[in-house]
A and B are shown apart, each in its own frame.
Chain A
Amino acid sequence: MGRVTRRQLTDLPGTLSLLIALVLASILAVLAFGLPALDRAVPAERPVAAGEPYRVAAGVTIVPPDGASLDATGTRPGAERGTALFRLGRVQYAIGVEPFKGDLTAAAVRLRQRITGTSGNQVTGTHLTVSTAGGLAGVEGGYTAGDRDGRYAVFVADGLIIEVMVSGDDADLERALPRIDASTRTLRYETEK
Chain B
Amino acid sequence: MSDAVRPGTTRSAAFLRQPAFWVVITIVAAGAVRISQIAVLFFTAYPVATITAILLFALLAVPFWLFVSELDFLEREPPSLRVLAFAWGGLVATSVSIPGSIALDNLIAKLGSPDLAAEWGAALAGPTVEEIAKTLGVVAIVLIARAQVNSVLDGIVYGALVGLGFQIVEDVIFAIGAVQQAGEGDQVQPVITTFLVRGFLAGVWSHTLFGALAGAGIGYLVVNRHRSRGRRIAVAALALFAAWASHSLWNSPLFRESLGDGAPALLAVLVFKGLPPLLLVLYLVRRAHDREAAYYVGVLATVRDPALITEGELRVLGSGSRRGAARRHAAVHAGRKARSAVRRLQRAQAALAVALSRDPDGPAEAEATAVREHRATLAALGHPEAVEGARSWRHTASTVGTAALAIAVLWVALSALGS
Q: Is the CB of A12 within 8 A of B143?
A: yes
Q: Is the CB of A4 within 8 A of B7?
A: yes
Q: Is the CB of A110 within 8 A of B183?
A: yes
- Segment 101-142 of B: residues with Cβ below 8 Å from A: 102-104, 106-107, 109-111, 113-115, 117-118, 121, 129, 132-133, 136, 139-140, 142
Interface stretch (choices A28-36, A123-131, A166-174):
A28-36
Q: Is the CB of A22 within 8 A of B109?
A: no
Q: Is the CB of B109 within 8 A of A21?
A: no
B interface, over-half SS? helix
Q: Which of the four size classes fits the interface of chain A? A: 35 or more
Interface stretch (choices B65-73, B92-100, B370-378):
B92-100
Q: How far is the CA of A35 from the CA of B108 in the complex (A)?
A: 12
Q: Is the CB of A110 within 8 A of B360?
A: no
B144 in the interface (beta carbon within 8 A):
yes
> If the complex has contacts A8-B6, A12-B146, A114-B183, are A42 and B23 also in contact, measured as CB distance less than 8 A?
no
Q: How far is the CA of A35 from the CA of B105 in the complex (A)?
A: 10
Interface stretch (choices B13-21, B274-282, B386-394, B399-407):
B13-21
- Segment 145-187 of A: residues with Cβ below 8 Å from B: none
Partner of A11, one of B14, B46, B92: B14
Contacts of A119 in B (CB 8 A): 41, 44-45
- Segment 9-42 of A: residues with Cβ below 8 Å from B: 9-12, 14, 17-18, 20-22, 24-25, 27-28, 31-33, 35-36, 38-39, 42
Q: Is the CB of A31 within 8 A of B100?
A: yes
Q: Which of the four size classes fits the interface of chain B? A: 35 or more
What's the least CB distance linking A192 to chain B, in Å?
A: 12
Q: Which B residue's beta carbon lies closest to that of A81?
A: B118
Interface stretch (choices A60-68, A72-80, A87-95):
A72-80
Contacts of A25 in B (CB 8 A): 23, 27
Q: Is the CB of A27 within 8 A of B136?
A: yes
Q: Which B residue's beta carbon lies closest to that of A18?
A: B19
Q: Is the CB of B180 within 8 A of A79?
A: no
> If the complex has contacts A11-B146, A17-B143, are A44 and B110 also in contact, measured as CB distance less than 8 A?
yes
Q: Is the CB of B18 within 8 A of A77?
A: no
Q: Is the CB of B136 within 8 A of A24?
A: yes
Partner of B23, one of A2, A10, A21, A39: A21
B235 in the interface (beta carbon within 8 A):
no
Q: Is the CB of B118 within 8 A of A76?
A: yes
Q: How far is the CA of A156 from the CA of B46 in the complex (A)?
A: 27
A117 in the interface (beta carbon within 8 A):
yes
Contacts of A72 in B (CB 8 A): 106, 109-110, 113-114, 117
Q: How far is the CA of A79 from the CA of B115 in the complex (A)?
A: 11
- Segment 284-313 of B: residues with Cβ below 8 Å from A: 295, 298-299
- Segment 97-131 of A: residues with Cβ below 8 Å from B: 109-111, 113-114, 117, 119
What's the least CB distance linking A190 to chain B, in Å?
A: 19
- Segment 42-98 of B: residues with Cβ below 8 Å from A: 44-46, 92, 95-97
Q: Is the CB of B145 within 8 A of A11?
A: yes
Contacts of A32 in B (CB 8 A): 95-96, 99-100
What's the least CB distance linking A4 to chain B, in Å?
A: 5
Partner of B185, one of A11, A43, A82, A113: A113
Q: Is the CB of B20 within 8 A of A18?
A: yes
Q: Which A residue's beta carbon lies closest to that of B148?
A: A11
A interface, over-half SS? helix
> If the complex has contacts A2-B1, A42-B107, are A35 and B129 also in contact, measured as CB distance less than 8 A?
yes
What's the least CB distance linking A124 to chain B, in Å?
A: 18
Q: Which A residue's beta carbon lies closest to that of B111?
A: A42
Partner of B20, one of A4, A17, A109: A17
Q: How far is the CA of A116 from the CA of B9 in the complex (A)?
A: 57
Partner of A31, one of B97, B109, B114, B182: B97
What's the least CB distance linking A150 to chain B, in Å?
A: 16
Contacts of A79 in B (CB 8 A): 257
Q: Is the CB of B1 within 8 A of A1?
A: yes
Interface string of B2-33 (1 = CB under 8 A from A): 10001111010010011110011001000000
Contacts of A82 in B (CB 8 A): 118
Contacts of B360 in A (CB 8 A): 3-4
Contacts of A76 in B (CB 8 A): 109, 114, 117-118, 121
Q: How far is the CA of A73 from the CA of B114 in the complex (A)?
A: 8
Contacts of A18 in B (CB 8 A): 18-20, 23
Q: How far is the CA of A21 from the CA of B178 in the complex (A)?
A: 36
Contacts of A2 in B (CB 8 A): 1
Known: A10-B9, A21-B24. 20 other contacts (CB 8 A): A1-B1, A3-B360, A8-B6, A9-B7, A9-B9, A11-B145, A14-B18, A17-B20, A21-B19, A24-B143, A31-B100, A31-B132, A35-B99, A36-B99, A72-B113, A73-B106, A73-B109, A75-B109, A76-B109, A117-B45
User: 21 A-B pairs, CB-CB below 8 angstroms?
Assistant: A3-B360, A9-B7, A9-B147, A11-B14, A21-B143, A24-B24, A25-B23, A28-B27, A31-B129, A32-B96, A36-B100, A39-B107, A43-B110, A44-B106, A72-B117, A76-B121, A79-B257, A110-B184, A111-B183, A114-B180, A114-B183
Interface residues of chain A, those whose CB is within 8 Å of chain B, are: 1-4, 8-12, 14, 17-18, 20-22, 24-25, 27-28, 31-33, 35-36, 38-39, 42-44, 70, 72-73, 75-79, 82, 109-111, 113-114, 117, 119
